[in-house]
Structure formats: structure tokens, C-alpha cells
Amino acid sequence: MAEETAGVKKAEKQDDESTPRGQKRLPGMVPKRIKALQDQAEIVKDLQDERMATEEEERKERKKLLELMHEHKVKRYPIDDDYEAVIESADEKAFVRKIKRGKTRKAAKD
């Protein structure tokens, strides 16, 4: 029974930075690679890189859209039945958004 208690105490003393043999890792040592974890982390990193590149391109295209809308003096432009380009006056940014269909607008009186 004393041996079990000693084994538990020894295991409790090991921290996450120790090697399987209980040796401490030296500062700057890279932990052992776990292939599945490494592969999944690389997939996520690649997706993040793609998204960041796409966001930069989208920012440039939104700026062009804003300039064109100002040039043509348009604040709202229907693209098709479901989407419209809109200038948000608070941010002075152009957005393409889905048109809300739940509410009907009252016809303007002549």
C-alpha cells in the first residue's frame, strides 16, 4: 500500500512539461509531435490563411463598390430578387445583403 501512495505522489509531481520518462524538458525544447494533431492544426492554419487573403480582397472590392455607388449617387442598388448593395451611412461602408421579405412596404401616395 505504501508503494501505491508513493507512485501516486510521484505521478502528481510530474507536470505537463515533463517527458514520458519523467525528465524535465529543457527550455526551448519542442514537445513530441502528434501526427493527427499536427495534421488538423495545419488544416486549420491553411483555412485561416485563405480566409485572411479573401477578407483583404473583399475589403478592396467593397471600397470599389462604395466609390461606384457614390459616383452614380446611389445608396441602395438591387442586385437581383434576393440581394441588394447598400451604403451604411453610420460606417460609410458598402455592403451586399439579403433583402428582408417579411415586411411589406406601404406604397407611397401620389
pLDDT digits (tens, 9 = 90+) for 60-91: 999 999 999 999 999 999 999 999 999 988 78
Please give the pLDDT value at position 12: 46
> What backbone torsions phi and psi does residue 38 show, to the nearest 5 degrees?
-60, -45
Q: Is 71 helix (H, G, I), strand (E, B) or coil?
A: helix
Task: Give me the residues of the chain with pLDDT under 70, please.
Answer: 1-20, 103-110
> Which DSSP symbol is given to 82?
S
Please give the pLDDT value at position 90: 79
What span, in angstroms and rounded, lies between the C-alpha atoms of 38 and 32?
A: 10
Specify which residues 24 forms β-bridges with: 18
Q: What is the pTM of this model?
A: 0.55
Please give the pLDDT value at position 108: 42
